[in-house]
């Protein structure tokens, strides 16, 4: 299995290279050259596997065993996986909870930082460690390969990435987060980690500014080569690969709980790659908050940083734009602060992968006689053109056929802050049912977005399928949003009693370490790039001095 860039070019990388490189030299994201199909007997042979065992089966389809080909021997891969998920608090790793007859919730927050990012970042941290140990075996300190991780977070990625690599040899991590735009618990989870290799950077700007800085550093060939940058954001393919597994886990758990046999209906889930591999999926729902760039894309065929008049839409079949002119805080320009801060972004880096498949399928349909390589290159050229347009004009536009391809697999819904509050309250005040005797179920604001979006989709077509909503974070991480949603309605609720896990007690009072940066020399992102480079360089000097310091230990 080789990996190619979404923005074209003939270069094909191994799995190891794609993980350690993160971002392609031309700015593209790595995707597998082929999406593997599931083995014929997967529904029976995988049905009773544990999460780590299931993870091994899925990952092995993408990772060869031969180290010479950038792969991982089977036994080594299983050990890396076992180590990654030993940190989770639940035996099922990502348990599926039934809320009533047709509503299900996949709890992805049982890892060390109480967020779904742990599923991928515990594994990614151990993959970094494994590959570096293999490369550095027998090397003296001054010749060892080192990795400098630079990442941006709107909340959960930062703490999960830090927990994944803290105190790991030959790795330093710098996490950029927008000052005042992450929840107090999220900030504390990052800044109270005092390990020498962990550096939290509070940025005067938005999450998109942080993300732009990270992309600029990766695109700076000289800086990247000097510091050997590694990626923990969703630009890193290993994160996507790790997350494919929990859709299969949900599928098997669903069937077990309903006692289904192989010929009976299967559940809708939310993974494009899992669906392409062969997992039975009926509908994928993209849920957005008031920062609704994705919902507007599926409505209009325009992916743009601010709302445009409906009459300028590229897709004649979708001329309306629900967010336009709404009275509930619809996005009209920059990022809007909402009750679901981890979704407060304008540009989703990982969306580029889906755009590549849209471009590829439209090119393949138009040029049926072209070779596979020619189709891939044409898709890469189209994607590169789109991303250049997004960079220079603040938007990219797909045609009607390309939009129809996007709509074939996905629906998209937008959820306001008011709807988030209502949904949190609705699930907390639910009455007991036969399937869920306790009735009440407390969700974080991001999970509430998912529940409301799913309900909206069902309401539009009148169908009543089983729905699995991904619960991405423990509600304790968003105390203010949860508390305001419940107390304003007079619900009987005590945060410490009903929500706060023992691992978070006293967290806000712990000692912290954080570096504050603001633009240097130039305004905006250019000035932030200069400031962050200075921070990374300063730490590199400290590490270098430490490495070359005389060893005074007794022998």
Quote the Cα angle for 177-180-182, to 5°. Answer: 60
Q: CB pairs under 8 A, 24+ apart, for 69-72? A: 69/14, 70/13, 70/14, 70/15, 70/16, 70/17, 71/14, 71/15, 71/16, 72/15, 72/130
- Would you say 111 and 105 are in contact if contact means Cβ atoms under 8 Å apart? no
Angle between helices 400-409 and 351-366 (to 10 degrees): 120
Which of 327, 385, 275 lies closest to 35 in space, CA to CA?
275
CA pair distance 34, 32, nearest whole angstrom: 5
Buried b (16+ CB within 10 A) or exposed e, 515-528: bebebeeeeebebb
Which of 21, 281, 184 lies closest to 510 in space, CA to CA?
184
CA pair distance 149, 238, nearest whole angstrom: 14
Q: Where is 107: in which H helix or E strand?
A: strand 103-107
- Would you say 356 and 380 are in contact if contact means Cβ atoms under 8 Å apart? yes
Q: Given 2, 117, 452, 518, which residue is catalytic?
A: 117
Report the SS3 class of residue 484. Answer: helix
CA pair distance 235, 247, nearest whole angstrom: 20
Tokens at 448, concatenated: 């509430």
CA pair distance 134, 147, nearest whole angstrom: 13
Which of 66, 225, 247, 61 lies closest to 147 in space, CA to CA?
225
CA pair distance 323, 303, nearest whole angstrom: 14
- Would you say 233 and 151 are in contact if contact means Cβ atoms under 8 Å apart? yes
Give CA torsion, residues 528, 353, 125, 446, to 10 deg. Answer: 80
Question: Which stretches does DSSP call E strand in 339-445?
Answer: 395-397, 410-414
Which of 170, 174, 154 lies closest to 162 in space, CA to CA?
174
CA pair distance 423, 448, nearest whole angstrom: 6
Q: Known catalytic residue: 102? A: no
Which of 501, 537, 512 lies closest to 202 in space, CA to CA?
512
Q: Write the DSSP symbol of residue 468.
A: E
- C-alpha distance across the termini of the chain, in Å: 47
Catalytic residue ranges: 117
């Amino acid at each position: 299995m080789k990996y190619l860039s979404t923005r074209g070019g003939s270069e094909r990388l191994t799995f190891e290279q794609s993980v350690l490189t993160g971002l392609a030299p031309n700015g593209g994201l790595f995707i597998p050259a082929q999406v593997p199909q599931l083995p014929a007997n997967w529904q029976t042979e995988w049905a009773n596997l544990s999460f780590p065992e299931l993870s091994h089966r899925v990952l092995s389809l993408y990772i060869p065993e031969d180290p010479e080909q950038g792969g991982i021997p089977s036994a080594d891969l299983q050990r890396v996986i076992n180590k990654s998920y030993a940190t989770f608090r639940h035996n099922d790793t990502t348990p599926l909870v039934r809320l009533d007859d047709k509503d299900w919730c996949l709890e992805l927050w049982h890892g060390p930082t109480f967020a779904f990012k742990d599923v991928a970042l515990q594994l990614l941290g151990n993959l970094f460690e494994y590959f570096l140990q293999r490369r550095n075996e027998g090397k003296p300190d001054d010749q060892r390969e080192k990795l400098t991780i630079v990442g941006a977070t709107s909340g959960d990625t930062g703490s999960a990435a830090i927990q994944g690599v803290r105190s790991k040899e030959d790795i330093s991590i710098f996490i950029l987060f927008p000052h005042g735009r992450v929840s107090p618990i999220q900030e504390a989870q990052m800044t109270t980690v005092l390990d020498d290799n962990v550096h939290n950077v509070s940025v005067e700007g938005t999450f998109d500014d942080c993300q732009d800085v990270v992309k600029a550093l990766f695109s700076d060939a000289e800086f990247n080569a000097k510091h050997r940058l590694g990626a923990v954001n969703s630009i890193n393919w290993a994160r996507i690969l790790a997350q494919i597994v929990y859709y299969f886990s949900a599928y098997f758990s669903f069937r077990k709980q309903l006692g289904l046999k192989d010929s009976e209906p299967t559940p809708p889930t939310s993974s494009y790659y899992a669906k392409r591999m062969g997992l039975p999926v009926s509908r994928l729902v993209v849920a957005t908050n008031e920062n609704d760039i994705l919902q507007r894309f599926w409505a209009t065929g325009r992916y743009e940083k601010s709302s445009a008049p409906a009459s300028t839409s590229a897709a004649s079949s979708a001329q309306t734009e629900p967010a336009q002119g709404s009275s509930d805080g619809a996005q009209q320009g920059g990022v809007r602060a909402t009750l679901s801060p981890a979704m407060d972004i304008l540009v989703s880096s990982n969306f580029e992968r889906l755009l590549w498949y849209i471009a590829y399928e439209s090119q393949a349909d138009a040029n049926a006689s072209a070779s596979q390589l020619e189709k891939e290159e044409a898709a890469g050229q189209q994607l590169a053109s789109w991303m250049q347009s997004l960079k220079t004009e603040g938007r990219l536009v797909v045609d009607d056929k390309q939009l129809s391809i996007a709509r074939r697999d996905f629906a998209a819904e937008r959820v306001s802050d008011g709807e988030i509050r209502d949904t949190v309250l609705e699930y907390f005040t639910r009455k007991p049912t036969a399937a869920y005797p306790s009735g009440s179920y407390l969700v974080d604001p991001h999970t509430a977005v998912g529940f409301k979006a799913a309900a909206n989709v069902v309401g539009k077509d009148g169908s009543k399928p089983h729905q699995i909503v991904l619960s991405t974070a423990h509600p304790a991480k968003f105390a203010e949003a949860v508390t305001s949603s419940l107390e304003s309605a007079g619900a009987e609720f005590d945060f410490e009693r009903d929500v706060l896990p023992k691992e978070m007690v006293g967290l806000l009072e712990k000692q912290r370490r954080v570096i504050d940066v603001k633009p240097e020399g130039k305004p905006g992102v250019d000035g932030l790039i200069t400031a962050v480079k200075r921070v990374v360089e300063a730490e590199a000097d400290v590490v270098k001095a430490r490495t070359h310091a005389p060893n005074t230990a007794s022998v």
